[in-house]
Amino acid sequence: MTVHAIVIDDSSAMRMILRRIVTKLGFEVDEAVNGRDALDKLNAAEQVPDVALIDWNMPEMNGLEFIQAVRSDPRYSRLTLLMVTTESEQSQIVRALAAGAHEYLIKPFTPDAVAEKLELLGLTAGV
């Protein structure tokens, strides 16, 4: 079964990097440019993705607001949330986890680090 991911980041370069990494892991990837765009895409999707890779600082709706919105909507209860951000203060990590993020990855990262976080979340392509 293919794992579907959505990469949510206002930087096109970062979206491309993450897309490449998760595609190489065998995932199917969609993209959104901010939290609002991601919510629209989730609403319109026939099938909710398995995992969202979410930047924190984005215009319109930031990553934390997106997580709060998703967590309050039972339609998305099975969506796994991985924050991928430059925010590296301990208090920020605690905030993201408290809001409902399942895991947290700090930029910059290596491809292995992304793969290991996804494995930690029980997301492996083909499973």
Residue 23's nearest CA partner among 3, 49, 52 is 3
Could you say whether residue 14 binds another protein (CB under 8 A)? no
* Of 43 and 124, CB closest to another protein: 124
Could you say whether residue 20 binds another protein (CB under 8 A)? no
Q: From 2-10, 12-20, 42-50, 90-98, give the range in contact with another protein by CB under 8 A.
A: 90-98
Cis, bond preceding 108 (omega within 30 deg of 0): yes
Q: Binding to another protein (CB under 8 A): which residues in 97-116?
A: 97, 101, 103-106, 108-110, 112-113, 116
Backbone angles phi, psi at 95, to 5 degrees: -60, -45
CB of 94 to another protein, least distance (A): 6
Q: From 23-31, 45-53, 56-64, 88-96, give the range in contact with another protein by CB under 8 A.
A: 88-96
Could you say whether residue 24 binds another protein (CB under 8 A)? no
100: left (phi over 0), alpha (psi -120 to 50) or beta: left
3: helix, coil or strand?
coil
Q: Are 6 and 44 in contact (CB under 8 A)?
A: no
* Of 46 and 89, CB closest to another protein: 89
Structure-token pair, residue 74: 């039972």
* Of 2 and 88, CB closest to another protein: 88
